[in-house]
Amino acid sequence: MKVCRIAYFNSAHRLYNPEWSDEKNNEVFGKCNNPNYHGHNYKIEVWIEGSVNQETGYLIDLKILKQIIKDEITDAFDHKNLNLDCPEFKNLIPTLENICIVCWNKLSKALDSSLNLSVKIWETENNLAEYSGE
């Protein structure tokens, strides 16, 4: 059994590898390398796998999961510049893939270890990523 809670955060970011020349950054990251940043509405789906508690009929109380997502993800990234404001991306390029891994790591620490976690993030209407910890 799996349950999922969805949330949103709106952030600025820039894709840039400091070890590369400007030319190589432009070649690889194109307009995502704009030094003045651009931004997205990120949609996050947090999937939890586990078993249902017979007394409550809940796998996990989704109100609690909502609060964990707020504490770990929304409060950390919403209305932030991922490159400048968020220590998680100090030495990590905030690509969709790396944002997905960072969110998985933060949520994984906050959840009971008996639960399997999977995180799906939408960067635009047409681009998304999914990470399950391996």
Catalytic positions: 32, 79, 123
Backbone phi, psi, residue 9, to 5°:
-145, 145
According to the binding rule CB under 8 A, does residue 67 interact with a copy of itself? no
At how many degrees (to 10) do helices 62-69 and 96-110 cross?
A: 120
Question: What's the one-letter identity of residue 130?
Answer: E
Q: Which two tokens stand for residue 12?
A: 């600025």
According to the binding rule CB under 8 A, does residue 22 interact with a copy of itself? no
Binding mask 31-60 for a copy of itself (x = CB under 8 A): xx-x-xxxxxx-----x----x--xxxxx-
Binding mask 89-118 for a copy of itself (x = CB under 8 A): ---xxxxxxx-xx-----------------
d(CA 103, CA 131): 9
According to the binding rule CB under 8 A, does residue 27 interact with a copy of itself? no
Cβ-based burial of 103 (10 A; exposed 0-12, middle 13-18, buried ≥19) = buried
Kindly list the residues in this chain that would bind a copy of itself in the complex (CB under 8 A).
1-8, 10-13, 15, 17, 19, 28, 30-32, 34, 36-41, 47, 52, 55-59, 61-63, 78-81, 84-85, 92-98, 100-101, 124-131
